[in-house]
Structure 1
Amino acid sequence: MTKRILNVVTNVGHYDDPSHPTGLWLSELTHAWQVFEEHGFEQTLVSPAGGHVPLEPRSLKFPSYGRTAKAWRADPARMALLENTADPDHIDAADFDAVYFTGGHAVMYDFPDSAGLQRITREIFERGGIVASVCHGYCGLLNTRLSDGSLLVADRNLTGFAWQEEVLARVDKLVPYNAEAEMKKRGAHYEKAMLPFVSYTVVDGNLITGQNPGSAKETAQKIAARLS
């Protein structure tokens, strides 16, 4: 049976201050997409509201942008996928073997309280499927509760964009909250690399997380290894 991946992307295009644009950090999608594609997995894009996905302008200039993101932007068919993402209410979690939350600061706004994404995540996780995130994508796991009412992230080892990295990226005054601190408040065992911005991943059972944009490929490889 072909394995199926649900890639989660954002609909938000700016911070609280509309003069500061944000959106999907494109390479966090494209690096993983390529890994999944090479394994023959079927892939679907979903966003909290469905439809259009804005791109983070900084992600198009950053060193981690890379070949896969450039190729995606040059392909009209691929770009069209970001105009027509699925609505969570139209997604049957039983159709997917893994859910992968991409990042970009935008997800801090629309991922945490999406009831549709929480339902999908809970259903995939509870039947032993893989729940994964990279960078700010872990904000999509902040408020997800399991059927017994417990938080999915409580007492679990994970990683995601570090507060130190927010400061170094000079967006610590723009972001709506400290995601690392919020994870710790929820009882997660947060880990990070010794150095900022290097690839770092954490595997805790069927929860697989990557720290930053440079971790997308490694995160996807670990997802693929589990599914294969």
Structure 2
Amino acid sequence: MSKRILNVVTNVGHYDDPGHPTGLWLSELTHAWHVFDEHGFEQTLVSPAGGAVPLEPRALKFPNYDKTAKAWRNDPARMALLESTLSPEQVDSADYDAIFFTGGHAVMYDFPDSAGLQRITREIYERGDIVSSVCHGYCGLLNTKLSDGSYLIAGKKMTGFAWQEEVLARVDKLVPYNAEKMAKERGALYEKAKLPFVSYAVVDGNLVTGQNPGSAKETARKVAARL
């Protein structure tokens, strides 16, 4: 039986200010998808609301737009996957060996309070399978609680897009909250690389997290190694 990965993507297309578009950071999906594909894993896309996934415009510009992202955009079958993602209600967590939360600033809006995603994540984590995220994907873990009422990330070593990186990306005035600060408030043992925007991934048991868009491959490789 090949392992099965549930990739989580966003349905949100702009910040609070509609004049500032955002969406899925495509390479965070394509880099991980490519790694999982090489291992022969089966992959499925889910989003908080199901259906279509907007793309972050900044992710479609050099140097963020690389060969895996280009290949995805040029493949009608792959692009069709982003038009018809599953909703959490259509997902049985028992069908998956790992969940992987992709990023882009859009996920800050629809990942944290999705009860469906929280259910899936909790069930996967509590049976010892893998919960993973890259970049802002960790926003999907901020409010997830285990069956005993504790936060999943409490006491866990983890990483995700740093506040310093928000400032350097010049979106610190646009984002709805400071995700790094919230993770720490929930008891996470947050770590980051010494330099911003370099690849950095952390493994703590069956929790695997990557810091930024450049960490997607490393994060996916660590997930694959655990599987």
**TM-score of the superposition, structure 2-length normalised?**
0.99
Structure 2 residue 84 is matched with structure 1 residue 84: yes
Distance 2:46 2:172 in 1: 28
- Matches of residues 171-182 of structure 1 in structure 2 within 5 Å? 171-182=171-182
What is the CA–CA distance in structure 2 between the aligned matches of 1:58 and 1:45, rounded to whole Å?
22
SS at match of 2:147: coil
CA–CA distance in structure 2, aligned partners of residues 181 and 159 of structure 1: 12
Q: 2:145 is matched with which residue? A: 145
Determine the structure 1 residue equivalent to 2:37.
37
Aligned equivalent of 2:184: 184
Separation in structure 2 between the aligned mates of residue 177 and residue 144 of structure 1, nearest angstrom: 17
Alpha-carbon distance in 2 for matches of 1:171, 1:102: 18
Paired residue for 2:101?
Answer: 101
Displacement of 1:66 in angstroms is 1.1
1:222 to 2:194 alignment = no
- Say if 2:130 is the partner of 1:125: no
Alignment-mate amino acid for residue 64 of structure 1: N
Identity %: 82
Letter in 2 for 1:127: R
Provide the rounded CA distance (Å) in 2 between the counterparts of 1:173 and 1:204.
32
Deviation at 1:65, TM superposition (A): 2.4
Look up the equivalent residue of 2:6 and give its one-letter code.
L
Q: How big is each residue's C-alpha offset from its partner over 1:56-105, in whole Å with a ceiling of 9 and x where there is no partner?
A: 00000142321100000000000000000001001000000000000000
Summarize deviations over 1:104-132 as a string: whole Å, max 9, x none.
00000000000000000000000001000
Cross-structure match for 1:206? 206
Residue 70 (structure 1) aligns with? 70
* Over 6 Å off, 4+ runs: none
Return the alpha-carbon distance in structure 1 between the equivalents of residues 216 and 67 of structure 2.
14
Coordinate RMSD, CA, aligned? 0.5
Query: Which amino acid counterpart does residue 185 of structure 2 have in structure 1?
Result: K
Q: After superposition, where does 1:3-14 map in structure 2 within 5 Å? A: 3-14=3-14
* Separation in 2, partners of 1:226, 1:68: 23
The C-alpha deviation readout for 1:134-153, integer Å capped at 9, x for no partner, is: 00000000000001111000
State the number of aligned residues: 227
1-structure distance, mates of 2:182, 2:4? 30
Question: 1:221: how far off?
Answer: 0.4
SS of alignment partner, residue 202 of structure 1: strand
User: How far apart in 2 are the matches of 1:65 and 1:183?
Assistant: 29
Q: Look up the SS of the partner of 2:67 in the other structure.
A: helix
Whole-angstrom CA distance in 1 between matches of 2:65 and 2:202: 22
Aligned-partner Cα distance in 2 for 1:113–1:75: 32
Structure 2 residue runs without a partner (length 5+) = none
TM-score of the superposed pair, with normalisation by structure 1: 0.99
